[in-house]
Amino acid sequence: MTPNRLHNLDLGTLRSFVTIADSGSMTRAAGRLFMTQSAISMQIKRLEKSLGLSVFERTAQGMSPTTEGEQLLHFANQMLAINDEVMGRLTSPDYEGKIRLGAPGDVIYPHIPGILKEFSRDFPRVQIRFSSGPTVNLKNQYKQGLLDVMLTTERVASPGGSIINTQPLIWTGAVDGNAWKKRPLPLGISRNCAFRSSAIKMLDDSGLEWIDVVASQDDTAALAMVSADLCVSAELECVKNSGRIAIDHGGSLPVLPEFSVVLYSVDAPGNQLGQTMVDYLLRAFS
């Protein structure tokens, strides 16, 4: 009796499959993996042919796993996790030490948690020290040599900084909220927030009356007030937070300017860990 031929799943194809499932798009997956869209498309076609089934449903909204694709996704994540752990422990450079990363709360979600997880997995001997705060505070820490790599939110990059992403600011409020309809407009942006002066200028230029309802220099208080529908705020379009959504104001509020995510890194021979972290940040924010 002839034994059944064993078929092996290709880990590179599985990584593409998982990335498409996470991003909902071949185009976005190609950007994250530094591949062409056609190459990823061929991988998925070969995967579906080898399995004899479709793993994605293609709609106008994007790509989502089929029922069989959901089963494959469960196993693919496990297989990739084991592969990455093995490669990280056995073949990565024997990095040891500490990397000091700083970023404002505006850009922590959705990318930073995944970056920290991947970096820690790939370099288990490296201690990550993460600092968060207003851009002005982070820049002071960077100047004092307290940070190796830093992200900021700015209209224009300062010397030494590189713009890696640009997003429009949007007005945000509570889910099903009505605070944006009140006049004067209750504004909830902390005193140290990089977006505060721009939002106020746009309100003043449009002649829209507003009142400041947050006296704190900490974002937590402001965001709690917004989520409670007591005021509105201004946030980056890419940021997703529970309890707050983009306000569909139909032109009742002024259009806000764009802000950039700016990357700073200490350019020194001994900052090899920092340069490696830069690669992870560029890949995520591209």
Answer yes or no: is pLDDT of 25 > 50: yes
Distance CA 48, CA 30 (A): 18
Are both 255 and 185 inside the same structural domain? yes
Question: Does residue 160 form part of some domain?
Answer: no
Beta bridge partners of 162: 263
Are both 85 and 125 inside the same structural domain? no
> By C-alpha distance, which of 99, 282, 146, 133 is closest to 219?
133
Split at pLDDT 50, 70, 90, the class of 278 is very high
Range(s) of the domain holding residue 269: 97-152+264-285
Provide mean pLDDT across the span 244-259. 94
Question: Does residue 279 form part of some domain?
Answer: yes
| Tens of pLDDT, residues 67-115 | 999 999 999 999 998 988 787 666 666 567 899 999 998 899 888 999 9
Are both 59 and 111 inside the same structural domain? no
The percentage of the chain sitting over the pLDDT mark of 70, rounded to a whole number, equals: 92
Q: Total structural domains in the chain?
A: 3
Are both 179 and 144 inside the same structural domain? no
pLDDT (0 to 100) of residue 272: 80
Are both 254 and 171 inside the same structural domain? yes
Burial class (CB in 10 A: 0-12, 13-18, 19+), 189: buried
Identify the H or E element spanning 151. Answer: strand 149-154
Distance CA 114, CA 133 (A): 19
What are the DSSP calls for 239-250, one per residue? ---TTEEE---T
Residue 127 or 125, more confident: 127
| Final residue in a domain of this structure, among 66, 90, 114 | 90
Determine contact, residues 163/260, Cβ cutoff 8 Å: yes
Determine contact, residues 29/23, Cβ cutoff 8 Å: yes
